[in-house]
Amino acid sequence: MCLMRCSLLLFLYFCSRRNSSIMRKITSVAAMVVLAMLLLSCAKTERNYYPDGHVQSIIQYRFGKEHGKTQYYYDTPNTLEIEVQMRRGKRNGELFRYFENGALDAHAYYVNDSLDGVETLYTANGEKTKETTYSHGHREGPFRAYHLNGDLSIEGNYKNDLYEGKWSYYDERGVLVGEADFKDGTGEMVSYDARGLRSLLTRYVRNEKDGKEEYYDQNGRVIREITYKQGRIVSQWEDTTRTR
C-alpha cells in the first residue's frame, strides 16, 4: 500500500511539471512534502517483548520488509544476542552474535542473505577460534583455526567449499604436526609424532575420509588400518602380532 501511494505521488509530481509556472511550483512542493511524509509512514520500528516485559527484539521495516538494524535479545534483560544489518528483507552488511555473558561469539559479513567475506568465531572468553573466508555463501579462500593460546592450529584454503592446495597443522607450541595437499577436496594428509616421524596417513575424497587410513609405528610399519567410504567406517584391521 505504501509503495502504491508513493508511486501515485511521484506520478502527480511529474504531471505537475506540465502545468503553469506558479501552479507547477506549488504542486511540486506539495507533492514532495506528501511523498516525504508517506516515505516516513512506510518505515516503522517493531518491538517485541518477553512475557516478563523486557525486550525480545527490535526490528526496523520499510515497505513491509526488514530494512535497517535488527536486534535480538536473550531472555536475560538487556542482553543482546544478535545484531544484523538488513536490506529489503535480506541480511546485507555486518552481523554480530554475542554470548550471554556479552562476549563476541561471531562476526560476519552478508550480501543478499549469503555469507560474503571473513567470518570470525570466538570463545566465550574472547579467544579467536576460526577465520573462514566466504564468497556468495561458499567457503572460498583462506581458512585459519587457532588454539586457545592464540597460536595457529590449522591453515589452508577452500575452493567452492572444498579443501584446496596445501594445508598445515600445528600443535600448541607451534610445531608442525601434519601436512596435506588437496585438489577439489581430494588428497592425502600426513600426521607426525613428537619425533617428526610419520604416524598417520589419511586419504580424502571431496572433503570426506575415503580409502585406507594407515597408522605407523616408529619403524614406519603399518600397525593399524581403518577403511572409510564417504566418511563412514567400512572395515578395520590391527596388527595383533606386534610386541605391546
Which CATH code for domain 50-146? 2.20.110.10
φ, ψ dihedrals at 67, nearest 5°: -155, 115
Q: Is the pLDDT of residue 228 over 50?
A: yes
Contact in structure between 163 and 179 (CB atoms under 8 Å) = no
Structure-block grid coordinates of residue 30: 506539495
Domain segments of the chain as ranges = 1-43, 50-146
pLDDT in tens, 164-176: 999 999 999 999 9
User: Average of pLDDT values for 27-38?
Assistant: 50
**pLDDT exceeds 50 at position 43:** yes
- Long-range CB contacts (within 8 A, 24+) of 209-215: none
pTM for this structure?
0.80
Long-range contacts of 161-169, Cβ-Cβ distance < 8 Å, separation of 24 or more? 161/207, 162/206, 162/207, 163/187, 163/204, 163/207
pLDDT of residue 42: 82
Give the Cβ contact number of residue 207 at 10 Å: 15
